[in-house]
Structure 1
Amino acid sequence: MSPPTVTARPASRHGWAHALGVVLTGLAVMVLVAALGLWAAGAAGLPDGAFPRVVAATLATAVGGSVELSGNAGALAQSRAGLTVLPLSVTLAGALVIGAGFLRPLRHRAVASAAELAGWAARIAALWLLVLIGLALGARQTFAVDVGSGTLSDLTGLFEAAPRVGFTTDVPLTVLFGLVWLAGVLLLAVLVARGAPLPGRLLRCQESVRPAAHAMVVLLLAYVVVALVVALITAAGRGHASATFALILLGLPNLAWLALTIGLGATWHGRVDGPFGLPMPHVLDVLLRTPDVSVLSLRSLTGYDGRWWWLVVVDALLLLAVAFRMAVSSPARIRLWQHALHLAVALALTVLMICLTVRVSAHYGLSLLGIGDLGGGLSGELFLRPMLWQAVGLGALWGLVAGLLGGLLALPVRRRGDVGEPPH
């Protein structure tokens, strides 16, 4: 009677009820972070009760969706805008909660079949699909703009054209990218957590993949913590507390991980034009607000303020720390060149992920009385794009060196060396 009891227990511990709890908890945390961030940014004052729908749009972009904005005032004016940016504070909060919920019923087990893991993930994905559809359908709103009194108000009355603006999301793309995001979160959770069970055929892979993956997650979270401390100190010294908290709750990892790649030597190209701006640090807005495409790199930052060289020091220290931790967590039979190779691949993939998620694209166009054609002098844009393969190559090089040094430092202090040794 014992075998049937053992096989039935896992299914009962992570059935539909538990999947619903994971999805609802993750959604609640994302809603809370997004709502507080938007409230700090002043979005609570939007007319026509648009705030909940703006929160829904923020959650949609947090999982990979994009927002299209448009507006018109009858024959008087029309506008169109687009925004592609991930509010990574919301993304990170949701990923941590959903990943932890996915792993919770699997803890204290060494092995799980591929069918069991796939079934458990499928339950969460099915419920998450319903959430994505709801977010995509709810993230659309059109509301009137108060033009006050004066000439503009007289013109809108003359043309019988009350200005209205709105936003919407692409439902199919939001659902698709949201499911891809969830798959990445669940896969990363299994790869990173040391106590998460794997199918028997993949147990050998954990010696090379799991310590390196765990090291990269620690590196990314450590950089966010460092950025949080810097942001709070800046807010205490310079004021603007509401803007700082809006940035922390919406886009702190965006700036933190951008700084990580720049400290590695990566180059980004960008431009700020028109009404757009970057909230913090001010140096980004200064360097990018130029007539032509600007270069954002360690050289341009230190040319503005020499203290930005500290990015290299922070990168070096954190990388060496996680490399040491990775080596200590690996079996003793893993050689130095393998430590270097594992961290090189892991850091290259991490930099690639940063480059794909931190990039920003926004545009705004206005046509006034048929003049402007949604462009020309009545437009603005903001974009930030990396030199992708240069950044990935530098990540691999830094990982190679840090992995080698971390392995050397771990040689005299390793404690788990005999765990992976084959019996004699």
Structure 2
Amino acid sequence: MSQHGATSPGRAAHAVRDWRDALVAVVAGFAAMLAVAALGLWAAGGTDLPENAFPQVVAALVVMAAGGSVGLAGDAGFVARSQAELTVMPLSVSLVGALVTALLFLRPLRHRAVARTRELLGRFARLAVLWLAALAGLAAAANKTFPVSLGEDSLLSDLGEFLDATPEVGFRADVGPTLLYGLLWLIGVIAVALMVSRKAPLPARLVRFQESVRPAAYAMVWLLLAYVVLGLCAGIVVAATHGHPARTFAMMLLGLPNLVWLALTLGLGASWEGKVEGPFGLPMPQVLDAVLRGENTSTLSVSTLAEQDGRAWWLVVVAAVLVPAAAFLMAVRSPARTRPWQHALHMGVALALTMLVVCLTGRVAARYGLSLIGVGDLGGLGGEVALEPRLWAAVGIGLGWGIVAGLLGSLLAAPVRRRGEVAP
């Protein structure tokens, strides 16, 4: 009895501490995403949104950044038809939330070498419960409808008033898909964090895989963050020298990884297909809009970009420098007994998976059209922005580049002293 009574308070205190750690990670992660989304929307002029919709749009941005689903809608009574679609992730917001949440999830585990599977699953379950609860609250707040102005003294305005069919557009988060995709997003973030961190403990059964997985995962995270840092520096230069600083900072705060990770795939030789039609478009750089603008689908690649701006070939140079640098970093962090063909295999698989993730998260699909009794493109609102990767070709390109870079990195790291070596 006395032993049971002594251990129960200890278990209760341990459980309270685990819930506290999960709560801190969730609150800090969402606070970081809300701050970045709010600053980005403010820089983009979001304070001028009608109907005081700034908070709802910020909530929608965070929902999309966490993997959620936000749908567009339009309505103008029984005589209207609308078609709407929105698929895009503001990856700047996603990246900040992922980094903060992952760091705080790993922090209580940093002084341990091994952790039981049940303990890790329990910690993740607590995090997931609180994360999904917060995401559900934001999804409920991401709901707004705006009236569409058709201008004064216009035929369409008079017709809509006569038929009591004033057009409206709006957005609403789909709670069910948001919770499902949000859970998958969180699983991916924590899995990558456990693979990357040297200090994060693993279950005993998985320890034998860390020598092959962790160096490659770390190299890929380093590669993606290196592109973000370069993009950040380029964005600051553009804001200081080319005018429109508010628009530039809005792009960096909301979609910088969308652009720089797209640049990574293009620099490696991958291509995308898309089009820009109507009043909407890709905000910057304008060369993307120039390549994709038109009614027909266009191919986006380094060569088509270079037709508009010859500096696009620098994307190949940057990739040719940073990818072997990542392979060298992977080789240095790997045990000395790892053979060159193993480096090549690890790097190839890692870069192929990275290309897959970048392509899936970088897709853009925004389409809107509203018609009133057969009159299409009501108020000039109809438009489409689409950008889709040639997915499996990009994955194959990543595999090939990774194999070559892995061999090169292994050769470059040969003179460097690494873990597992014994001095003669």
TM-score by length of 2: 0.92
Tell me, what secondary structure is at the counterpart of 1:188?
A: helix
In the alignment, the residues of structure 2 paired with residue 330 and residue 60 of structure 1 have an alpha-carbon distance, to the nearest angstrom, of 37
Tell me, what secondary structure is at the counterpart of 1:291?
A: coil
Match of 2:353 in 1: 349
Match of 2:112 in 1: 109
Match of 1:232 in 2: 236
In the alignment, the residues of structure 2 paired with residue 12 and residue 169 of structure 1 have an alpha-carbon distance, to the nearest angstrom, of 33
Asked if 2 retains the 8 angstrom alpha-carbon contact of 1:223 and 1:257, the reply is yes
Asked if 1 retains the 8 angstrom alpha-carbon contact of 2:335 and 2:418, the reply is no
> Cα RMSD (Å) of the superposition?
2.4
Match of 2:178 in 1: 174
In the alignment, the residues of structure 1 paired with residue 225 and residue 66 of structure 2 have an alpha-carbon distance, to the nearest angstrom, of 19
In the alignment, the residues of structure 1 paired with residue 96 and residue 328 of structure 2 have an alpha-carbon distance, to the nearest angstrom, of 27
Asked if 2 retains the 8 angstrom alpha-carbon contact of 1:56 and 1:138, the reply is yes
Asked if 2 retains the 8 angstrom alpha-carbon contact of 1:106 and 1:196, the reply is yes
Change (3 A) 1:11 1:206: farther
Structure 1 residue 230 displacement after superposition:
1.2
Tell me, yes or no, if structure 1 residue 22 matches structure 2 residue 25: yes
CA deviations on 1:27-57 (whole Å, 9 max, x unpaired) are 1000011111111112222222221111111
In the alignment, the residues of structure 1 paired with residue 133 and residue 98 of structure 2 have an alpha-carbon distance, to the nearest angstrom, of 17
Q: Which amino acid aligns with 2:46?
A: A
Structure 1 residue 287 displacement after superposition:
0.4
The counterpart of 1:279, out of the listed 268, 278, 283, is 283
Match of 1:317 in 2: 321
In the alignment, the residues of structure 1 paired with residue 317 and residue 420 of structure 2 have an alpha-carbon distance, to the nearest angstrom, of 31
Percent identity of equivalent pairs: 60
In the alignment, the residues of structure 2 paired with residue 231 and residue 408 of structure 1 have an alpha-carbon distance, to the nearest angstrom, of 35
Structure 1 residue 222 displacement after superposition:
0.4
The counterpart of 1:241, out of the listed 238, 245, 263, is 245
TM-score by length of 1: 0.92
Q: Which amino acid aligns with 2:347?
A: L
In the alignment, the residues of structure 2 paired with residue 186 and residue 248 of structure 1 have an alpha-carbon distance, to the nearest angstrom, of 25
In the alignment, the residues of structure 2 paired with residue 26 and residue 64 of structure 1 have an alpha-carbon distance, to the nearest angstrom, of 14
Match of 2:188 in 1: 184
Aligned length in residues: 415
Flag structure 2 segments of 5+ consecutive residues without an equivalent: none
Tell me, what secondary structure is at the counterpart of 1:327?
A: helix
Instruction: Report runs of 4+ in structure 1 exceeding 6 Å deviation.
Output: 7-10
The counterpart of 1:380, out of the listed 379, 383, 398, is 383
Asked if 2 retains the 8 angstrom alpha-carbon contact of 1:145 and 1:164, the reply is yes
Match of 1:402 in 2: 405
Match of 1:332 in 2: 336
Asked if 2 retains the 8 angstrom alpha-carbon contact of 1:10 and 1:105, the reply is no
Structure 1 residue 250 displacement after superposition:
0.7
Q: Which amino acid aligns with 2:396?
A: G
Flag structure 1 segments of 5+ consecutive residues without an equivalent: none
In the alignment, the residues of structure 1 paired with residue 395 and residue 162 of structure 2 have an alpha-carbon distance, to the nearest angstrom, of 57
In the alignment, the residues of structure 1 paired with residue 91 and residue 13 of structure 2 have an alpha-carbon distance, to the nearest angstrom, of 33
The counterpart of 1:127, out of the listed 130, 133, 139, is 130
Q: How does 1:80-119 map to 2 (within 5 A)?
A: 80-119=83-122
Asked if 2 retains the 8 angstrom alpha-carbon contact of 1:75 and 1:369, the reply is no
Match of 1:363 in 2: 367
In the alignment, the residues of structure 2 paired with residue 178 and residue 378 of structure 1 have an alpha-carbon distance, to the nearest angstrom, of 31
- Segment of structure 1 superposing worse, 157-166 or 132-141: 157-166
In the alignment, the residues of structure 2 paired with residue 134 and residue 147 of structure 1 have an alpha-carbon distance, to the nearest angstrom, of 34
Q: Which amino acid aligns with 1:71?
A: G
Asked if 2 retains the 8 angstrom alpha-carbon contact of 1:53 and 1:141, the reply is yes
Structure 1 residue 65 displacement after superposition:
2.3
Tell me, what secondary structure is at the counterpart of 2:336?
A: coil
In the alignment, the residues of structure 2 paired with residue 9 and residue 345 of structure 1 have an alpha-carbon distance, to the nearest angstrom, of 43
In the alignment, the residues of structure 1 paired with residue 16 and residue 211 of structure 2 have an alpha-carbon distance, to the nearest angstrom, of 28
In the alignment, the residues of structure 1 paired with residue 274 and residue 245 of structure 2 have an alpha-carbon distance, to the nearest angstrom, of 27
